Amino acid sequence: MAAINRDDVAHLARLAHIEMSADELDRMAVELAVIVDSVKSVSEAAGEDVPATSHPIPLTNVFREDVVGHTFTAEQALSGAPDAYENRFKVPAILDED
């Protein structure tokens, strides 16, 4: 049985701010279910003795010394902004949270 259904897809689409039509939700539910099942078969191949990993290469502690490097000017920082005011990004008021 697929681990993902149409409601899950609608929920994820809302969280990800992706607008999807009813047709798209139907199609995506089927396609994502296939992907989830595929991942599941990979999971089955790994035994209890294989720890979960987020990185394929066993690197740790890649650090940077605390030394100031380059910065942008405000003009550079704002050069791709859709709108700006007084050297700040201007965005629509969002009432959702503080």
Partner 1 sequence: MSVDATLSFEEAMEKYDPVLGIEVHVELNTKTKMFSSAPNVFGDEPNTNVNEVDLGMPGVLPVVNKTAVESSIKIGLALNCKIAESCRFARKNYFYPDTPKNFQTSQYDEPIAYDGYLDIELEDGTVFRVEIERAHMEEDAGKLTHMGGAAGRIQGADYSLVDYNRSGVPLVEIVTKPIEGAGSRAPELAKAYVAAVREIVKNLGVSDAKMERGNVRCDANVSLRPHGRERFGIRSETKNVNSLRAVEHAVRYEIQRHAAVLDSGEPVIQETRHWHEDTRSTTSGRPKSDADDYRYFPEPDLVPVVASREWVEELRATLPEPPAERRKRLKEAWGYSDLEFRDVVNAGVMDSIEETISAGASADVARKWWMGEIVGRAKVADVDPSELGVTPQVIVELNKLVEDGKINNKMATQVLDGVLAGEGTPEEIVEKRGLAVVSDDGPLLEAIDAALAAQPDVAEKIRGGKVQAIGAIVGGVMKATRGQADAGRVRELILQKLGVEG
Burial of 9 (0-12, 13-18, 19+ CB in 10 A): buried
Q: Of the two residues 2 and 77, which places its CB atom closer to partner 1 in the complex?
A: 77
C-alpha angle with apex 30: 27 to 35, nearest 5 degrees? Answer: 125
Among 3, 11, 27, 31, the residue binding partner 1 under the rule CB under 8 A is: 11
Cβ–Cβ < 8 Å for 36, 4: yes
What is the contact mask toward partner 1 in residues 12 to 51, using x (rule: CB under 8 A)? Answer: ---x-x----------------------------------
Under the rule (CB under 8 A), what is the footprint of partner 1?
A: 11, 15, 17, 54-55, 59-74, 77-78, 85-98
